Amino acid sequence: MKQNRILSLVLALVMAVSTLVAGTYVSAEESLYKDVKTTRWSYEDIKYVTENGLMTGTGEGIFAPAETMTRAMVVTVLYRLQGSPEVKYTAIFSDVKDGTWYTDAVIWAANSEIVNGVGDRKFAPM
C-alpha cells in the first residue's frame, strides 16, 4: 500500500515537471527581430503585422518598436492592407521619387484620396 502511494507521488511529480518543461519549451520562441524580445508587451502584435506582410521592420533584423512611424510607413501599411494594388508612377509629389520602398504606397494613397501633401507639391514621407 505504501509503495502505491510512493509510486503515485512520483508519477504526479514527473507529470508536473514535464508540464513545466513543455511550457518552458513552447515559450522559448525566438524573436523575429534583434530589438524585440518575445517578452515585450507588443511582441504578439509585432509578430502579427510581420507574419501578415503589413510591416517588415526597418532593416537588417531591426523593427525599431520605439520609433515614430513616418508618413511613408503609414501609407505603406494601408497600401499592404489593400493587397498592394498595381499603380503607375506619376510624379505627384516632388519628394517622392520613383523606385523607393514607399513610392507605390504614396501614389496609391494620394490617388485614393487617403492622403494629401503638405504643400508646395511635397508629401514629406520621412
Q: Is 38's pLDDT higher than 60?
A: yes
Q: Which of 99, 104, 41 is nearest to 77 (CA)?
A: 104
Quickly count: other Cβ atoms within 10 Å of residue 24's Cβ.
Answer: 9
- b/e sequence 36-48, b meaning 16+ C-beta within 10 Å: beeeeeebeebbe
Q: Which of 34, 29, 30 is nearest to 61 (CA)?
A: 34
What's the pLDDT at 28? 60
Q: Is 13's pLDDT higher than 90?
A: no
Predicted model pTM:
0.71
Grid cell in block for residue 41: 508587451
Q: What is the pLDDT of residues 41-63, one digit of tens each?
A: 999 999 999 999 999 999 899 99
The answer to whether 105 and 85 have CB atoms below 8 angstroms apart is no
Q: Is 93's pLDDT higher than 70?
A: yes
